[in-house]
Every structure is written in C-alpha cells, then in structure tokens.
Amino acid sequence: MTTSTSHDTLQKFIFDNAAVRGEFVEISDTWREIQSRHAYPPAVKTVLGEMVAAAALLSANLKFNGAIIMQIHGDGPVRLHDDRCDSELRLRATAKLAEGAQIADDASLTALLNASGKGRFVITLDPLDKMPGQQPYQGIVPLDGESMATVIENYMLRSEQLDTRLWLGADDQVSRGLLLQKLPRHSGQDDQSKQSSEAEDLETWNRAVMLASTLKQPELLGTDIQTLMNRLFWEETIRVFDPAHPRFHCSCTREKVGNMLKILGRAEVESALEDLGHLGINCDFCGKHYEFDRVDCAQLFASDTPVETLIAASGVKH
C-alpha cells in the first residue's frame, strides 16, 4: 500500500501483562521534505519537528479512518497551523512566521508561541467518512506547558483522561519521539483481580516512565529507535507489532484553494486581480502552484455555482 520510498518508521509495543503501551517514531525522509520548501530558524524547526512526531504518535491510535489536525494559535512570532496526520500516517506540516520576526536560536516554545500567555492548542479529529451533518470534533485548550511534549500530555489528561508521557526531539535530519500511555482496565473482572491488575499496571507504568526519563535529547536525536528500545527496555518483556511507515502527503486541491479565495472575499480578490491580472497561489505545505485568472475568479463568485463544477470547468479550459 505504501508507494513512497520512505524509511520512516512507527513502532508500537505493549508491556506484557500490563495495560501500558508505547510507540517509537522516527521521521527523517518526510521531515526533510516538510522543511525543504522553507528556511525555518533552528528554534522553529525544533518545535515543528516535535509536533510532527507527536501528530504521528497520536494518529497511530486513531479509532476511526480520518485525520488528526494540530494547530497552535500563538501570540508570539510563530504560528503552527493545520499540521495533519491521518490514520495511514500520511502527514504534512508548516509553520508561519510573523513578518520580520527575529528568532533566537534557543528561543523557547513560550517565546515562540505564547509570548503573552494567550496561546491556544487546537486539536481536531476529522473522520473521513462523516455521517450527514457530523462535524469534526475539535478541542481547544490553553497552551499549557513549556515544551510540545508537556502541552500534549496535559491535553491528553484533560480531554481523554489518559496518562500519557512523551519524549520528543527534532533537528535538521530527524524528528523522533517516544510515547507511553497507561490504559484504563475494562470492567468485567471481579473487584479483587481488577485491583491487583491495576496495581501491576501502575508498577509497570512507573517503571517504564522512569526508564524513559533517562533519555536525554542528544541520545534521542542520535540513536535509531531499535537501539533506543533495546537500551531502555531490555529488562522488560514487551510485545512489538509490525512497524508502520509515516510518509509525506498533502491534501490540497484546486477546490480547497478556490474555497479559500471565496472566504477571503470578492473585494479582496478583485483588488488583487486589479494589481496582478491573475492570482498565483503556492500551497504552503507541498509547494504546488495554483493559478486563478479573471474568468476563474468570476466563476468562483458566481452565485450558487458549486465549487466542484468550477474545478471541472477550469480543468477543461486549460
């Protein structure tokens, strides 16, 4: 099913006899592709790369066919928007920098995204096959934490009531992460065996978190996930699943770009046409170029014309 040559890997595992699961992810080909169309300052690379790893880690446990979309609406110089990973681990990401922003190499997440404490983390769960009238689920929480890992841990605890820990790192070459999660025990066991299972889960959870907490950034960035897994959990009995392979994919279409122009509004579009004669729009994620001339734009704003019809029409024209 995978058509790209990506070597990127997501490896799920569970601890034997305990409701504790984990995932390692290593994204290099896809991560380099995401960076290839932008010159991000180092601090932005780190935050964006960590978000990419986190999106892949969370998407791997989606219980529906669809996508996770993460956005950070900050009040600092940087905005991370529409970073998306679907249940097939196809992902895309981009960061927007305020014009003229000076960003220190070691700028913290707070300095980049939450300068006056008004930053928001928005996570959207978007099923592909929605029921009629079904809206995507969207959770919006304050940007609560000094690192991407903490922001997501806090979100998971608040919204999903799941104990989750993440270790994330990214540089030019790789975005790598580890997730541990303690799952709830289902009912159906008698009280006593449930209690003893829960005690065992807690013990395994504490031990796993302690082992993973020995992982420092240079080791996380410089070591492949197989070695990391052996090094951290060699004394544990863990069951490893078949690896999955994240890869780059952009879901942009001419229709979506057209919708964006419609949202921008007729006055804005007409004034740009006045200046330029036509509109050329590059997708921020994949770099694909879309052209809209006067006729295209007129059709776009013609009342009651479904956007799909416009796409078909413009396809014939060119």
Give the residues lining the site for Zn ion (CB under 5 A).
250, 252, 283, 285-286, 288
CB closer to Zn ion out of 92 and 182: 92
How many other CB atoms are there within 10 angstroms of residue 264's CB atom? Answer: 12
Rounded to a whole number of angstroms, the minimum distance from the CB of residue 251 to Zn ion is 7
Q: Which is nearer to Zn ion, 38 or 194 (CB)?
A: 38
In angstroms, what is the minimal distance from the CB of 252 to Zn ion? 3
Q: What's the closest the beta carbon of residue 182 comes to Zn ion, in angstroms?
A: 37
SS3 315: helix
The nearer residue to Zn ion, 225 or 252, going by C-beta atoms, is: 252
CB closer to Zn ion, 205 vs 290: 290
Q: Which is nearer to Zn ion, 26 or 33 (CB)?
A: 33
| Euclidean distance between CA atoms 45 and 35, whole angstroms | 8
Residues 6+ apart with CB under 8 A from 11: 23, 24, 25, 225, 226, 229, 240, 241, 243
Minimum distance from residue 14 beta carbon to Zn ion (Å): 36
Whole-angstrom distance, CA of residue 176 vs CA of residue 168: 6
Least distance to Zn ion, CB of residue 90, Å: 12
Q: What angle do CA 82, 85, 88 make, to 5 degrees?
A: 155
In order of 45, 85, 143, 231, the CA distances from 103 in angstroms are 11, 27, 19, 36
